[in-house]
Amino acid sequence: MNANEHWLVPDWPAPDHIKAATTLRTGGVSASPYASFNSALHVGDQRDRVLQNRQLLKARLNLPDEPLWLSQIHSNVVIDAAKSARLQEADASYTMQTGIVCTVMTADCLPLLVCDKEGICVAAIHAGWRGLAAGIITNTIKALPIADLMVWLGPAIGPESFEVGKEVRDAFKKKSEINLTAFKQVSDEKWLADIYQLARHELMELGIDQVYGGNFCTVTDSARFYSYRRDNVTGRMATLIWKN
């Protein structure tokens, strides 16, 4: 994993003109409990501090434009970033145009970045368990006109931290019996779920075998990552991808 002090750079064989990053929680201006590089306006942080953080983000990553921020609703809705107004309700965006920054925000949910080996198209996906069960990954992949895709799995809640109830396990069992291998029972009504494995299962079924990342845990790594499950009131990391 290539890393800057305040963001991660995906370790994947994307073309050189494809740029991507996930911000860490450090290096911003927000105060506790949002300390300090919170990019989300909807979590209770002071608006002026969030906007300052977003300006820092744009400058540090040398972004070609403002990120396309989404109003994330844990859905399976994906939008064409080039045709979209700001702050649409969706959980993924894609583009084939240069200079458009597809962006998602997370604090335990799984961010996925997608591109093809030629760097023609890119996409960013926000996959909480509801969106994942509803097919946000499949909908995004099917929206892309290019085959031979690669995917990077960013920082999310780890498999030893994601305790869920029967309704979550049942939702993924309904999708595919293979998903049951991503659940480890810990009591009569509770399981530990591996969101990375669930994503890999779906990507495998879509014929995507170039999958990278997926070795983080936002809950246990409090120095680098926000975690809603750990802290409840907290900030959000931004995961971004664009074509230069």
Structural domain boundaries in the chain: 2-156+208-243
What is the four-CA torsion angle of 196, 201, 204, 210, rounded to 10 degrees? 10
How far is it, in rounded angstroms, from Cα 226 to Cα 210?
27
pLDDT at position 2 is 52
Contacts of residue 135, defined as CB under 8 A and 6 or more positions apart, other chains included, come to 76
Instruction: Write the single-letter amino acid at 59.
Output: A
Q: Which helix (H) or strand (E) is 231 found in, with range?
A: helix 228-231
Total residues found in the chain within this entry: 244
Instruction: Write the single-letter amino acid at 171.
Output: A
pTM of the model: 0.96
Domain 2-156+208-243: top CATH class: alpha beta
pLDDT at residue 124 tops 80: yes
Give per-residue pLDDT as tens, 140-191: 999 999 889 999 999 999 999 999 999 999 999 999 999 999 999 999 999 9
Read off φ and ψ for residue 233, nearest 5 degrees: -90, 115
Instruction: Write the single-letter amino acid at 147.
Output: A
pLDDT at residue 19 tops 50: yes
Nearest CA to 39 out of 127, 29, 198 is that of 29
pLDDT at residue 3 tops 60: no
Taking CA 11 as the corner, what is the angle to CA 127 and CA 9, rounded to the nearest 5 degrees?
Answer: 75
Nearest CA to 149 out of 215, 204, 81, 69 is that of 204
pLDDT at residue 1 tops 50: no
State both tokens at 242: 């664009």
